[in-house]
Chains A and B, each alone.
Chain A
């Protein structure tokens, strides 16, 4: 069935790069997303990539998509304390169906 998996925790030192990985199973997905959730808040769309793209860069964020391996990653350069949050990977498989991973808690070490 459709599934999106990501590791639950990641600790990174301030100033280093964070790489959050995600795998998905549905090869018919059209868009893949990264959301950020800060405590007590909703899910903010950080970035997305269309399934026919390999890479997308937006300031400190780089998304890499390996469609063959169904692997998506989010790299945050120069990680700051404000990047501490839960990051969700998600894919859309139709107009009205979106599948989320369980979320990766990013912890920033001083």
Chain B
């Protein structure tokens, strides 16, 4: 079945540095990928929708210069947290929307970011 690989699973970084998270669809092409951030009580806030070959669509309140999203190919989207601060510490998860035999949403396993 469809698999989305998300790396790294966890990362610790210093304040002020940047961190890149990759989301890769392994056996299907995903024209649309989504990035979420987990908040208390487990809900996942949609940060942005990433479309291959075009600029990401950010949700209200999400700083696009801080959370850089690139979807350069049909199988890879990246989220870069720039100039990270402790308040950026969270669990980030991506999903990819498949078509045809891979219809539905396939999620990565998430990335735990800790900024110290």
Contacts and interface: CB of A to CB of B under 8 A. Distances in A.
B42 A97 contact: no
Interface stretch (A12-20, A39-47, A65-73): A39-47
A64 B85 CA distance: 41
A88 B43 contact: no
B106 interface: yes
A98 B95 CA distance: 12
B100 interface: no
Nearest to A99: B109
A60 to B, nearest CB: 19
Looking at B36, B41, B59, B105, which has the most chain A CB atoms within 10 Å of its CB? B105
Interface of A: 3, 8, 33, 35, 40-45, 48, 86, 88, 90, 95-100, 102-103
A8 B107 contact: no
B43 A43 contact: yes
Query: Sorted from nearest, which 9 A-B pairs have the closest CB atoms?
Result: A102-B104, A42-B46, A100-B107, A43-B44, A45-B42, A96-B112, A42-B45, A45-B43, A103-B105
Contacts of A86: 105
Contact of A103 (B9, B36, B41, B104): B104
Interface residues on B, range: 20 to 34
Given A99-B109, A103-B105, A35 B9 contact: no
A42 B43 CA distance: 8
Given A8-B103, A42-B45, A43-B44, 19 more contacts: A3-B1, A41-B46, A42-B36, A45-B43, A48-B42, A96-B9, A96-B10, A97-B9, A97-B110, A98-B93, A98-B110, A99-B107, A99-B109, A100-B106, A100-B107, A102-B2, A102-B104, A102-B106, A103-B105
